[in-house]
Structure 1
Amino acid sequence: MDRYLSTDLWKQTAEKHSIWLGEPPEHSIRTIALSELHDEAACRKYIRWFQEYIDAPDMKVAASMLAKRIGYLWTAPLVIAMTFHHQHVTFQLENSFLYHPTLSANEGGTRFPFLAVNGLRAEPLSEDREFSREKVVEEMFAVQLTPLLKMLAAIAPLSMSILWENIMVRIGPLYTLEAEEAERESEHIQADFSYLTQGAPGHVFGVKRNPLTRFTDHKDNIPVAKSERITCCFYYQMSGEYCRKCPKIDNENKSQLK
């Protein structure tokens, strides 16, 4: 195992983001490899099942909820490893599984999937951080995540803007919190966020232009994540309530939300 993957830094990150290190637990209700979600028939079959399992009204809502969950389970840990631990962690999609434990074995009671990963690899970023960073981002998005988002958009059907903002809401808070805690001591933290949301060309995301730029504002000429969403993720359609950042409700009603 790569040295980083045996450290408390990685183990704590994995635990915080509901990652099971190893093969998925036996007797799970449903298990599917991330690589299978790149296949239209397999992805459609899973989303239909997931829709029913979480009691979503349609595939559009189910796909949106899955994208948000993937941002939490998959994208956020890789971004944390890159920016805060200076590591390039690679998930092999065929050895990474969304799984739904039995409700009796699930302490949190959520019906949303967890992630089991096996055969992880990690290597430190090189001294040429800009080169390493581009390599990490291109693998994470253009090679692995973006094809899945495009598949979800096609079968739901659903706007890619919604799916990208679902990923962005998992990335933005990582940099906001760490920047405050570090009191801007680490320039690479802001540099990484600026690259992800402003500087990275579209091809490293597998699209024509950077899809995260529109979800940022500037504060003192520094890019920051928008405080409110531009798109709606449709959470209210299955929960009966709006999230605080939802663009569909006015500020007066937002102040009454918990």
Structure 2
Amino acid sequence: MNPYLLTDLWKETVEDHSILLGEPPEHSVRTIALSELHDEEACREYIRWFQDYIDAPDMKVAASMLAKRLGYLWTTPLVTAMTFHHQHVTFQLENSFLYHPKLEEHEEGTRFPFLAVNGLQAEALTGDRALWREKVAQEMFAVQLTPLLKTLTAVAPLSMSILWENIMVRIGPLYIPDEDEIERGRKHVQADFSYLTQVASGQVFGVRKNPLTRFTECKDNGYVAKSERITCCFYYQMSGEYCRKCPKIDNENESQLK
């Protein structure tokens, strides 16, 4: 086992994202491997179940909520390991499970899934950063995440732009400049964010062009995530309120003023 997986850095990342290391709990309400979600029929059946379980109005909303959850549970920890810990961590999809614990058995009490991961792999990233960063990103997105997002668009009538922005709202906050960072570290973090959102080709993501670029803006001579969303994730359709970045807020305020 890579010693990194035993460090406090990784343990804190796991705890921050409520990841369970090992097999999912036996008595969960529902469990499904991430690899199964690449299959259209299996994904459709799960989204239908998930829609009912979280009381979403339709599959479109359920699929959008799942994508946001995957950004939190799956993508963000891997990006954290790459940029801030210089490690290439791989979740084997057939050994990575979304599970829904019984509400009374989990302190968060949410109906959204959690992630259990077995058989983690990690490799320290050394040498040419540009080369290994591309390798890590391509595995993370083109090989693993993008096929799943494409399956979600196939089973629910929503656009890839919504799903990619759902991922972006999880990644973006990681790269907010920290005044306590030393200048060298800040440049390194900004360089990674610039790569993921500006430099990386569509091939790295398994699509025609970089899907994250449109969700950024240049500020203070560097790129940051936009403060407001371009697309709506439909959160308001199941919660009765808009999320803080929702583009519909301004439209709603304008209509109330008329």
TM-score normalized with structure 2 length: 0.95
Matches of 2:5 and 2:157 in 1, distance apart? 37
Corresponding position: 1:170 with 2:182: no
Kindly state the Cα deviation for residue 251 of structure 1 after the two structures are TM-superposed: 8.7
User: What does the per-residue CA deviation read over 1:206-229, in whole Å, with 9 as the maximum and x for residues that have no partner?
Assistant: 001000000000012311100000
- 1:176 & 1:114 partners in 2: Cα distance? 25
Q: Structure 1 residue 68 and structure 2 residue 68: aligned?
A: yes
Identity %: 79
Kindly indicate whether residue 246 of structure 2 is the aligned counterpart of residue 249 of structure 1: no
**Alpha-carbon distance, 1:105 to partner:** 0.3
- Give the match for residue 182 of structure 1: 181
1:183 & 1:244 partners in 2: Cα distance?
30
Map residues 4-15 of structure 1 onto 2, 5 A cutoff.
4-15=4-15
Q: Secondary structure at the match of 2:242?
A: coil
Q: Where does 1:1-258 land on structure 2 (aligned, <5 Å)?
A: 1-176=1-176, 179-182=178-181, 184-186=183-185, 187-250=187-250
Residue 126 of structure 1 and its aligned partner are, at CA, apart by: 1.9
Cα distance between partner residues in 1 of 2:211 and 2:55: 30
Distance in 2 between the 1:226 and 1:102 partners?
36
Question: What is the Cα deviation at residue 184 of structure 1?
Answer: 3.9
> Partner of 1:250: helix, strand, or coil?
helix
How far apart in 2 are the matches of 1:174 and 1:188?
13
> In 2, distance between residues paired with 1:250 and 1:99?
36
More divergent stretch after superposition (185-194 vs 91-100): 185-194
Matched residue SS, 1:168: helix
Deviations 1:152-178 (A, max 9, x none): 01110110000000000000000105x
Specify the SS of the correspondent of 1:182: coil
Deviating 4+ runs (over 4 angstroms): 251-254
RMSD (CA atoms): 1.4
Unaligned runs of 5+ in 2: none
Using the alignment, how far apart are the partners of 2:155 and 2:253 within structure 1? 33
- Report the CA distance between 1:253 and its aligned residue: 5.3
SS state of the match for residue 208, structure 1?
coil
SS of structure 2 residue aligned to 1:137: helix
CA-CA distance at 1:55 after TM superposition: 0.2
SS of alignment partner, residue 97 of structure 1: strand
Q: Aligned partners of 1:207, 1:251: CA distance in 2, in Å?
A: 31
One-letter identity of the residue aligned with 1:116 = A
With over 3 angstroms needed to count, the CA separation of the structure-2 counterparts of 1:23 and 1:198, relative to structure 1, is same
Query: In the aligned structure 1, how far is the partner of 2:239 from the partner of 2:180?
Result: 33
Alpha-carbon distance between aligned partners in 2 of 1:207 and 1:18, rounded to the nearest angstrom: 30
Structure 2: distance between partners of 1:185 and 1:129:
15
**Secondary structure class of the residue paired with 1:224:** strand
Q: Distance in 1 between matches of 2:136 and 2:94?
A: 18
Structure 1 residue 180 displacement after superposition? 3.6
| Alpha-carbon distance in structure 2 between the residues aligned to 1:180 and 1:191 | 16
Question: How far 1:39 moved relative to its partner?
Answer: 0.3
